[in-house]
Structure 1
Amino acid sequence: MLRVFVEICRYPLGMTGGQIQDEDISASSQWSESTAARFGRLDFDNGDGDGAWCPDIMSELDGVKEYLQVDLRTLHFITLVGTQGRHADGMGNEFAQRYMIKYSRDGSNWVGWHDRKGRQVIEGNRNAYDVVLKDLEPPIIARFVRFMPVTDHSMIVCMRVELYGCEWLDGLVSYSIPDGHQMIYRGLDVYFNDSVYDGASGLGQLTDGTWGLDDFLHSPIYSMSPGYDYVGWSNKSFPKGYVEMIFEFDHVRNFTSMKVHCNNMFSRGVRMFRQATCYFRSGPDWEADPVTLRPTVDRVSQIARFVTVPLGDRTASLIKCRFHFSDLWMLFSEVAFQSGSAVYNTSLTPRDDPTHKVDDSNTRILIGCLVAIIAILLTIIVIILWRQVWQKMLEKASRRMLDDELTAHLAIQTQAFSLNHSSLSSEGGSTSNSTYERIFPLCADYQEPSRLIRKLPEFAQSTEHLGSCTSSRALAVGASDSAPHYAEADIISLQESSDSSTYSITAVNMNLFAGTDSSMKEFPRHKLTFKEKLGEGQFGEVHLCEAEGMQDFLDEVLSIEGNNESPLLVAVKTLREDANKNARNDFLKEIRIMSRLRDPNIVRLLAVCVDTDPLCMITEYMENGDLNQFLCILRLKEITLFFFSVYSTLSYSKLIEMAVQIASGMKYLSSLNFVHRDLATRNCLVGKNYTIKIADFGMSRNLYRGDYYRIQGRAILPIRWMSWESILLGKFTMASDVWAFGVTLWEILTLCKEQPYSHLSDEQVIENTGEFFRDQGKQVYLPKPPCCPERVYTDLMLSCWRRNAKQRPSFQEMHTQLMESLV
């Protein structure tokens, strides 16, 4: 059994992708045949906003709730829901402003969901086109889910929905435990009740995927009361000296072990259990021979921990366990079982044939085979997740993207200007939404700081001391009111455009690349076979395709071993035929620039289709997705291996090898005087054998919306990766990319467990940049990752974050230093 982790278990369950069939979607009523339940799929209509479930609310009777119901066929752990309205290209304006959720595991007993503070109503949509995602805290375990719009009947309600989570592999459908007790600790009331228990025979905090901290007075969940994460009991209330719990499962299973997360803060009278005794039942009576474990008492460490209780491959559908006290209090926060389906020769599940019996020897053989099959299937699942999770997680949750979101982030405008300082200062410039920007270090500073410095009045009075080189191109962080809701590299500006909501450095003359062969082969578009849409925006889409005969378009470096006739998976970026002229020009310019980038750690452009519309560019497809999600999956694997007492396979040297590749790619870009401006693990892609390539497909994903800070509703900045001078001065150089590399290295060595400066709000991050400017020793640095050697942290990471940009190392130096650390 793979344990569910809330932070990873966020896959779309099939409303959008079609895995959930029409017959599994039902509703209490419908406005018309065209608004039936089957149309309630998020993004079902591929973009025009038509098609949704609309209840017949005008005929609703008092006390009767309208609902859209989804049957997932099996139990699932659901962590997130998404909703959307119906706009029909401006012809409709129906959506649900608020809604509630009910769920059921058997289709008969329904439970109303509420958050950890008891609130049942969920805030929904504010318009008909945006997708609104809501985390379910706590998550739910259910097969059936109902969305119930809350309305005052003043407007027609329509909904399109998606569920996110993963299959519930425990098989646990309910548990029964005694009510938790209240502890009074130094005048503080601490309640250890199961506050999210969902029924007389249900599930709750012991299966919510959240483990309590070492100190039970604190909670990993923000603003919750002391003791919230634990269910606990006092020895004084149990004369027999033990707490009895009963666990019910969906069918007879073969149980290998049970893991119980216990608190062990003995300085406050809390210890893990002294003994666990478990009884098993598959028929009408409990079996006589229990399993017993007496764990070693830990009188030294007060760290909370999982205690494994071996269950000896016993088969049962009910387990009763008695946990004996070893101190005044006993606190549990999570219980999980490792099991598989079983064949049992005396008591039958509802699917068993009553005429078919198997003897004990055959039972053992079958159980062994089933366990082996389950192990193989789990291995296959992990491999599939590594390959596909990046393209399955929330990629299709965003509808309202900017015109240039899927056009060239590598685009450089064709307006020419000379390389002397006078022409750079005098020309008017067009703008680009490029992430890679080519710069020339004629002038390192810019006179006018951004609006962010208004938060630091003393800074505005001191900018004249930061440099003597000036430029007429002042930073203007701001945009029109039409700025998009999502942006991945709407990062900075040196001059405001009159016809765009983004800002960028004036373009470099394309003749600067005249020494490089710019020809790019035309690929026969009929040889592209569509597999899946990876992302989309207002003027472009990115598809996963199979390309036949692509070997003829690959040079020796990219040549793929094996059968030359085998189709090759590629990413195809297309420009929609209705794109405006500027978007079309940017698309062609991106092709021209990308065709000249030649480095093993930079994603390569393979071919184009530009003879007819739609325009297409074909790039390498990195099958393991972006590095951020790849590391999250590795972390899940590491936690899972630790959970089952298997030795870790992920090494520090492997992580450094990833960083070496990123440094190598950035060394190449810096040699061309290119500045990336958005270097982070989310913008690095992972191929076979841990190959890392720097890229920017321009796919603005809701998954990373929290990594960008919107200034006064306008410009969008990845401030947690930006140097202080980039935020305050709008100064982007190779040295600012070095700063971002230090943050990226920190992400890698922490396996992307949390966002940089996660303990600081966005406003506090900006204030921290002011401390770097003032340089009074009050600035806050990212902490040293646990696996990071002191020398790497001090000599490399901290050097990337030096206040003086000239004192930061070059990518050449960092690449050499990282290579030496591997020796």
Structure 2
Amino acid sequence: MQAGALRGRRLTIIIGDTQAVAVKQERNVRMCAAPGEEMKVMEVKLITRRVVFILLAASARAQVNPEICRYPLGMTGGQIQDEDISASSQWSESTAARFGRLDFDNGDGDGAWCPHIRLEPDGHKEYLQVDLRSLHFITLVGTQGRHADGMGNEFAQRYMIKYSRDGNNWVGWHDRKGRQVIEGNRNAYDVVLKDLEPPIIARFFRFMPVTDNSMIVCMRVELYGCEWLDGLVSYSIPDGHQMIYRGLDVYFNDSVYDGASAERLTKGLGQLTDGTWGLDDFLHSHIYSMWPGYDYVGWNNKSFVRGYVEMIFEFDHVRNFTSMKVHCNNMFSRGVRMFRQASCYFRSGSEWEADPVTFRPPADRVSQVARFVTVPLGDRTASAIKCRFHFGDLWMLLSEVAFQSGSAVYNTSLTPRKHGHPTNTLPGDDPTHKVDESNTRILIGCLVAIIAILMTIIVIILWRQVWQKMLEKASRRVLDDELTARLAIQTEAFFFQHSSLSTEGGSTSNSTYERIFPLCADYQEPSRLIRKLPEFAQSTEHLDGAPHYAEADIISLQESASDSSTYSITAVNMNLFAGTDSSMKEFPRHKLTFKEKLGEGQFGEVHLCEAEGMQEFLGEDFSIEGNNESPLLVAVKTLREDANKNARNDFLKEIRIMSRLMDPNIVRLLAVCVDTDPLCMITEYMENGDLNQFLCNLRLKEAADEDKAEQEEREGTSMVSYCKLIGMAVQIASGMKYLSSLNFVHRDLATRNCLVGKNYTIKIADFGMSRNLYRGDYYRIQGRAVLPIRWMSWESILLGKFTMASDVWAFGVTLWEVLTLCKKQPYSQLSDEQVIENTGEFFRDQGKQVYLPKPLCCPERVYSDLMLSCWRRNAKQRPSFQEMHAHLTESLA
């Protein structure tokens, strides 16, 4: 959860959050392999610190986070009552609406809702309706068909969703690109989970099957999210404006608004309440392949005579408001600043009160970082608020607005509210007084629960020590002390880092996966799933050390309590480069000109800069793109100035390693700035950016028109031929061949980590992970780290083994990206959890595993002989990079 985006929770969730922390810590205790007294004391202290943090944060107020708000709301568990589930029609009593509950294969698959008539093509009249009894924030939906133990085969291939906040006005959901139809099931057995982008805020939901031909359909559904207790039911704002920035059209309209749209948007909700806030640079977006300015709603000062934008916010009932949080852009170099003043008026009846609350945030003329601005509302009571935001510059851009009130705090408890009873108080009741009366009892219960949890943890630690000694006596293989200590540190700190070095088989980590999908037996964390398989005992082996290249493959989200535990770095075997001169020249800092922030990682930040006189500085030994007159475009990695000693040493080790990497298809380290803080390393940056974005903007030319394609490419049109794509893959294979010859493991090979220069020159880089643009490519583990699971081999996900063979697997996925022009994310039809489940099928090797499909332009021999060979279960049977480079080179001949 981002800093500065905190909003309140009820005291009742302290117990739930504490239990969640205790469960995670118990897993850490079981996974740590060094059970000495020091470890026990450290673990208990760590739990105590976390519990204190939870107690301090319990009264904080947190912005809604779609990544957290993903809990089943009760169709499966029964919290949603039968009377709250209805339908337009049904086959019979046995297929009534109340049977339309998702069933994760816990029954015979016989129950489902089925409309009484065959659906006509594109018919949308039949629906299954769910009443959640109060407003909810819905981020995910699941659907399933009816199979009745093989006797039935009815399912919905596609469907639409309609929703309503009041039960009268219904809105059809559509994604961020305007598509309304959702791809559903392909068989009657599997559960298909679909993320809703944007999420929905509503009380009533209708699932409407869509079919291409007349057929019988049946549906079982589940809704995932959490209760929307902000109370905001609509906002009214002027329609956003268009900016022309350096010839680029930048649109600041609220594209997902679900109310009436004219010159002013009314009676709806949209991007200001979708839980996603904009980046520092408004030209880029969190959302994949959206237009510039998408994250923000913005207005030009010239269009408002009075110098302010007026917004009206309507709520479900009268509330006592304490503050409002507004996410603003502040890129003043482009004429954008946060608002100069906010004046808010309040209404409880039919008239607006005369005396507003006025707030003037301090002007920031130094930092261009987007931020939340908190506007105090002085505990004013109202059912509607009218705020006037005064311009601080030519443009004002907002991406999120959230309100905090005494009776409406956002609930992120692990246990969803039990449905069937409205949350509103009775007429005449004082809801604030009711909450205050129960706070004492709640707090006492919380403290008792915390003490009980801490005592339980201590008992578990002691029990674990005894049990581990018994296992050590029975085990035929005992892990050596070095590996044990390393695994314990990695588990507590984080899995791996930019400068850390993996083993040849990879560092084995027992980190479990935080569940953001259904909490049921079918969705187990991989570490448990793999241990249930009989082959597991033969699947681990002791492995030799080998360095890795990729930047911040996993970013730790855990804040360190002391200097010694901030970074976990495995010692590097520098003998690998013995005899090589590792000195790097110190580049004058004043010759670096900041252009753009590319992103940030564990080490610090990545900036795009211009280096003046770099060619002359490097001399004739370096052959780099550009001319001697113009500044050279470079990427500058910086280490945070407050980094501890270990982090600084690791940063310098990385410089030493990268200075020895010299290959035409590997991004090179050009110079350093280490005389003063912050420490910097300067690397090449290619003028066309990363390969993923480069390919997204291209179209494939058919092979029959190859000559025409060549001509259009020379004329600068956005087309590329198959031969050019294979040429790119050859270069990636060449760079990986070089890394593998040095026994390097990349760990994060993907198109986002490849840069493109002139004439389709490709160089492998390592800082794609640091860019917010690609955060959707990484899967969060226990709230503390992330993994690029869609590019990882099964043994990397389940066993934590990273080898050259796992890089070969990632190369197969990267080749698939290249040949599909990065139009889709790998396994786009699967959720993250389903991708992990699919790795279990690779392990079991029973023919149920799902492979990436053959790209349209890919010859059969390239797909079968190369791609599929990269994804073989047995790592030893995968081809080497030398073999793949030769194979691809031959295909160009």
* TM bucket normalised to smaller: 0.3 to 0.5
- Mapped contact 1:482–1:501 kept (Cα < 8 A): no
- CA distance in 1 between partners of 2:459 and 2:626 (Å): 25
- Mapped contact 2:497–2:568 kept (Cα < 8 A): no
- CA distance in 1 between partners of 2:433 and 2:219 (Å): 48
Per-residue CA deviations over 1:640-696 (Å, capped at 9, x if unaligned) read: xxxxxxxx9999999999999999999999999999999999999999999999999
User: 1:48 offset after TM fit, Å?
Assistant: 1.4
- Mapped contact 1:684–1:695 kept (Cα < 8 A): yes
User: Relative to structure 2, which stretch is displaced further, 120-129 or 654-663?
Assistant: 654-663
Residue 361 and residue 521 in structure 1: after superposition, are their counterparts in 2 closer, same or farther (change >3 A)?
same
User: 1:288 offset after TM fit, Å?
Assistant: 1.3
- CA distance in 1 between partners of 2:353 and 2:559 (Å): 77
Q: Is there any run of 5+ residues in structure 2 with no aligned partner, and where?
A: 1-62, 262-267, 418-428, 703-717
User: Relative to structure 2, which stretch is displaced further, 582-591 or 665-674?
Assistant: 582-591
Partner SS state of residue 435, structure 2: coil
- Mapped contact 2:512–2:527 kept (Cα < 8 A): no
User: 1:635 offset after TM fit, Å?
Assistant: 40
Partner SS state of residue 46, structure 1: coil
Task: Give the aligned CA root-mean-square deviation in angstroms.
Answer: 24.0
Q: Does 1:270 align with 2:336?
A: yes
Residue 504 and residue 813 in structure 1: after superposition, are their counterparts in 2 closer, same or farther (change >3 A)?
farther
Residue 315 and residue 347 in structure 1: after superposition, are their counterparts in 2 closer, same or farther (change >3 A)?
farther
User: 1:4 offset after TM fit, Å?
Assistant: 1.3
Partner SS state of residue 145, structure 1: strand
Residue 224 and residue 91 in structure 1: after superposition, are their counterparts in 2 closer, same or farther (change >3 A)?
same
- CA distance in 1 between partners of 2:433 and 2:332 (Å): 53
- CA distance in 1 between partners of 2:536 and 2:765 (Å): 35
For 1:317, which of 372, 383, 392 is the aligned residue? 383
Residue 33 and residue 174 in structure 1: after superposition, are their counterparts in 2 closer, same or farther (change >3 A)?
same
Per-residue CA deviations over 1:330-351 (Å, capped at 9, x if unaligned) read: 0000000011339999999999
- Mapped contact 1:10–1:166 kept (Cα < 8 A): yes
User: 1:311 offset after TM fit, Å?
Assistant: 0.3
Residue 738 and residue 154 in structure 1: after superposition, are their counterparts in 2 closer, same or farther (change >3 A)?
closer
- CA distance in 2 between partners of 1:396 and 1:542 (Å): 49
* Other-structure match for 2:598: 534
- CA distance in 2 between partners of 1:368 and 1:100 (Å): 44
- Mapped contact 1:409–1:434 kept (Cα < 8 A): no
* Other-structure match for 1:804: 874
* Other-structure match for 1:478: none
Residue 750 and residue 524 in structure 1: after superposition, are their counterparts in 2 closer, same or farther (change >3 A)?
same
Partner SS state of residue 637, structure 2: strand
Residue 463 and residue 157 in structure 1: after superposition, are their counterparts in 2 closer, same or farther (change >3 A)?
closer
User: Relative to structure 2, which stretch is displaced further, 291-300 or 585-594?
Assistant: 585-594
Residue 176 and residue 592 in structure 1: after superposition, are their counterparts in 2 closer, same or farther (change >3 A)?
closer
User: 1:70 offset after TM fit, Å?
Assistant: 0.4
**Paired positions, count:** 797
- Mapped contact 1:276–1:322 kept (Cα < 8 A): yes
User: 1:58 offset after TM fit, Å?
Assistant: 3.7
User: 1:222 offset after TM fit, Å?
Assistant: 0.5
Residue 683 and residue 165 in structure 1: after superposition, are their counterparts in 2 closer, same or farther (change >3 A)?
farther
User: 1:180 offset after TM fit, Å?
Assistant: 0.6
User: 1:200 offset after TM fit, Å?
Assistant: 2.4
Residue 728 and residue 511 in structure 1: after superposition, are their counterparts in 2 closer, same or farther (change >3 A)?
same
Per-residue CA deviations over 1:283-317 (Å, capped at 9, x if unaligned) read: 11111111000111101111111110000111110
Partner SS state of residue 773, structure 2: helix
User: 1:116 offset after TM fit, Å?
Assistant: 0.4
Per-residue CA deviations over 1:50-76 (Å, capped at 9, x if unaligned) read: 110000124889976100000011100
User: 1:49 offset after TM fit, Å?
Assistant: 1.2
User: 1:405 offset after TM fit, Å?
Assistant: 31
For 2:91, which of 31, 37, 43 is the aligned residue? 31
User: 1:772 offset after TM fit, Å?
Assistant: 24
- CA distance in 2 between partners of 1:564 and 1:457 (Å): 63
TM-score of the superposed pair, with normalisation by structure 2: 0.44
Partner SS state of residue 660, structure 2: coil
Q: Does 1:377 align with 2:454?
A: yes
- CA distance in 2 between partners of 1:312 and 1:161 (Å): 43
- CA distance in 1 between partners of 2:590 and 2:337 (Å): 68
User: Relative to structure 2, which stretch is displaced further, 681-690 or 543-552?
Assistant: 543-552
User: 1:166 offset after TM fit, Å?
Assistant: 0.6
Per-residue CA deviations over 1:477-501 (Å, capped at 9, x if unaligned) read: xxxx999999999999999999999
- CA distance in 1 between partners of 2:460 and 2:725 (Å): 19
User: 1:585 offset after TM fit, Å?
Assistant: 50
- Mapped contact 1:406–1:537 kept (Cα < 8 A): no
User: 1:151 offset after TM fit, Å?
Assistant: 2.0
* Other-structure match for 2:892: 822
- Mapped contact 2:119–2:217 kept (Cα < 8 A): no
User: Relative to structure 2, which stretch is displaced further, 380-389 or 271-280?
Assistant: 380-389
- CA distance in 2 between partners of 1:217 and 1:530 (Å): 17
TM-score of the superposed pair, with normalisation by structure 1: 0.47
- CA distance in 1 between partners of 2:527 and 2:613 (Å): 50
Residue 688 and residue 259 in structure 1: after superposition, are their counterparts in 2 closer, same or farther (change >3 A)?
farther
User: 1:567 offset after TM fit, Å?
Assistant: 71
User: Relative to structure 2, which stretch is displaced further, 327-336 or 668-677?
Assistant: 668-677
User: Relative to structure 2, which stretch is displaced further, 326-335 or 790-799?
Assistant: 790-799
Could you tell me the percent identity over the aligned residues?
93
- Mapped contact 1:536–1:542 kept (Cα < 8 A): yes
User: Relative to structure 2, which stretch is displaced further, 335-344 or 13-22?
Assistant: 335-344
Residue 93 and residue 237 in structure 1: after superposition, are their counterparts in 2 closer, same or farther (change >3 A)?
same
User: 1:755 offset after TM fit, Å?
Assistant: 14
Partner SS state of residue 447, structure 1: coil
- Mapped contact 1:402–1:483 kept (Cα < 8 A): no
Residue 85 and residue 782 in structure 1: after superposition, are their counterparts in 2 closer, same or farther (change >3 A)?
closer
Partner SS state of residue 355, structure 1: helix
- Mapped contact 1:206–1:334 kept (Cα < 8 A): yes
- CA distance in 2 between partners of 1:72 and 1:531 (Å): 49
Residue 227 and residue 34 in structure 1: after superposition, are their counterparts in 2 closer, same or farther (change >3 A)?
same
- Mapped contact 1:415–1:509 kept (Cα < 8 A): no
Residue 813 and residue 334 in structure 1: after superposition, are their counterparts in 2 closer, same or farther (change >3 A)?
farther
- Mapped contact 2:665–2:762 kept (Cα < 8 A): yes
User: 1:175 offset after TM fit, Å?
Assistant: 0.2
User: 1:329 offset after TM fit, Å?
Assistant: 0.6
Partner SS state of residue 57, structure 1: coil
Residue 230 and residue 718 in structure 1: after superposition, are their counterparts in 2 closer, same or farther (change >3 A)?
closer
- CA distance in 1 between partners of 2:754 and 2:473 (Å): 20
